[in-house]
Structure 1
Amino acid sequence: MSSPKAPALPDELDLVLRRMRLPYLRKAAPDVLATARAQRWDPAEVLRVLLGEEVTGRNSATRRMRRKTANFPTGKTFSSWRAEESSITEATQNSLSTLEWIGRHENLAVAGPSGTGKSHFVEALAHAAIENDMRVSWFTLETLTAAVGKAKVDGSVARTISRICGCDLIVVDDIGMLPAGQEAAEAFYRIIDAAYERRSIAVTSNIHPSGFDSIMPKTLATATVDRLLHHAHLVLTKGESHRLAEAIAGKGVIALN
């Protein structure tokens, strides 16, 4: 048998909580107050529990908003990460997972063949950063170039760069999949330079950062990599593509009838 529904809040109290914009406290209040009466809680305990509900609700809402704003590509987290199958050493995985490097404004560069878990690992770190009350922005080199290019049109480049660098962690994914022209190299450099020693940058690439001058103008590539790798963790992945191996094994494939 289900327990009886707690009595609704008096209209006057409900209105006050709405005016004060305490939606999570207001939602929890009927049950909390009913429990408090039945168990004769101390008034301070009632206040603590109600305010705790509001804080928890607001924190959850903030994280949801930050995940949406970050523009993650797939939503992959450590819950689906198979650490034992990665070529990244366990010690390195554990060290980076503490996120202490973000607090020190250090960078992360993960380079290696396609399908070796680079993006999955970095996205899992980025999700963990949001769970630890940090802000994250996720780009590919193409979307970053588009954002900076759009800002050039209306003269808001400085404001756009400042907004991006307001995040604790800025990710640029899949560098090297396509050649990068002058505009892409310039956009990438602007972010790296603005974030240098102030924010953390994480990049994934199928080529070593020292080879970025093979896909973008050499002068910009040199200046960018110099700042990127100073105070950086460089992780090299290896092995066969996990995606290709799963495809060959038929995993994730739905047979046609």
Structure 2
Amino acid sequence: MTDSSPTTAAVRAPRSRSRRTDQTPTAAPLPADLDALLRRMRFPYLRAAAPDVLATARAQRWDPAEVLRVLLTEEVLGRDTAGRRTRRKAANFPTGKTFASWRPDDSGIPAATQHGLTTLEWISRAENLAIAGPSGTGKSHFVEALAHTAIDHDMRVAWFTLETLTSTVGRAKADGSVARTVARICRADLIIVDDIGMLPAGADAAEAFYRVVDAAYERRSIAVTSNIHPSGFDTIMPKTIATATVDRLLHHAHVITTKGDSHRLQQALAGHGVQALTS
């Protein structure tokens, strides 16, 4: 007896319409009433896949349950992809750097530490991450790559520099919505504050940073990058509030120190990243 259930390739067929062979059945458009129902139910990905799936199902005599499974799988995959795209846009990443362009052997972060952090288990435990070291040693790249991986695992991410965080909280002060704004930021599973210490931080920056760290404490994960160790934050912001912030930030934290010369400077000295001038 021949098995007529769809294979993995058949399940994915609706996403490869341009590669239809002569043996692939012609997909008839959906009946108008069914199309209207799917629009009303807001199943756009199922509706788009349905003509090809139904044509294949008729030709291969799929079990009705398999047809339903394939169609619902298309809808779930489509929604997941759209959701990740939305979360990536909302995160407001600065450059879009991922692990695809990361060179682990060139990093000063130990390989075992890199592997442990990429599992994202620390985020599920609401632990923090602090990476300190000279400019150009890959701190922001690594953290952004972790953030993209978190989104791929359906987590929410919020990305700030200390300056943009200060501006966000400062605008909320104007209309008395600081508590709501901080609560909205803390809906993210991972909150990133990048490049702390590049510029002096005044009282407003210190307050904004403290509010988020305090609200996220033992509830959400915060990752910070800085050219100075967190223990030295009191050199760039008021000592009292810096001490309270660092106390909460480092209580459940992975602290990493990077070393070495700037990767950007090394590439510049080697002539990488520019095209030769011609006369």
What range is the shorter-chain TM-score in?
Answer: over 0.9
Which position in structure 2 is the counterpart of 1:170? 191
Q: Flag structure 1 segments of 5+ consecutive residues without an equivalent.
A: none
Which position in structure 1 is the counterpart of 2:251? 230
Maintained 8 Å contact 2:26/2:55: no
Which position in structure 2 is the counterpart of 1:88? 109
**209, 217, 220: which one aligns with 1:188:** 209
**SS across alignment from 2:150:** helix
Amino acid at match of 2:81: S
1:26 aligns to 2:26 (yes or no):
no
Amino acid at match of 1:162: A
Maintained 8 Å contact 2:130/2:255: yes
Shift of 1:5: 4.3
Deviations 1:161-187 (A, max 9, x none): 000000000000000000000000000
Provide the C-alpha distance between the structure 2 equivalents of 1:8 and 1:61, rounded to a whole number of angstroms.
Answer: 24
**SS across alignment from 2:142:** helix
**SS across alignment from 1:213:** helix
What does residue range 115-134 of structure 1 map to in structure 2 within 5 Å?
Answer: 115-134=136-155
Shift of 1:255: 2.4
**SS across alignment from 2:158:** strand
What does residue range 232-251 of structure 1 map to in structure 2 within 5 Å?
Answer: 232-251=253-272
Which position in structure 2 is the counterpart of 1:72? 93
**27, 31, 36: which one aligns with 1:15:** 36
TM-score by length of 1: 0.99
Which position in structure 2 is the counterpart of 1:63? 84
Provide the C-alpha distance between the structure 2 equivalents of 1:39 and 1:26, rounded to a whole number of angstroms.
Answer: 20
Shift of 1:254: 1.8
1:206 aligns to 2:206 (yes or no):
no
Provide the C-alpha distance between the structure 1 equivalents of 2:125 and 2:223, rounded to a whole number of angstroms.
Answer: 13
Provide the C-alpha distance between the structure 2 equivalents of 1:7 and 1:84, rounded to a whole number of angstroms.
Answer: 53
What does residue range 48-59 of structure 1 map to in structure 2 within 5 Å?
Answer: 48-59=69-80
Deviations 1:11-60 (A, max 9, x none): 11111100100000000000000110010000000000000000000000
Amino acid at match of 2:266: A
Shift of 1:6: 1.1
Deviations 1:186-209 (A, max 9, x none): 000000000000000000000000
Provide the C-alpha distance between the structure 2 equivalents of 1:102 and 1:150, rounded to a whole number of angstroms.
Answer: 29
Deviations 1:82-112 (A, max 9, x none): 0011010000000000000000000000000
Amino acid at match of 1:221: A
Which position in structure 2 is the counterpart of 1:40? 61
TM-score by length of 2: 0.91
**SS across alignment from 1:197:** coil
Q: Percent identity?
A: 76
1:219 aligns to 2:221 (yes or no):
no
Which position in structure 2 is the counterpart of 1:159? 180
Amino acid at match of 1:160: T
Amino acid at match of 1:202: A
**SS across alignment from 2:201:** coil
Provide the C-alpha distance between the structure 1 equivalents of 2:243 and 2:269, rounded to a whole number of angstroms.
Answer: 39
Amino acid at match of 2:194: D
Amino acid at match of 2:119: T
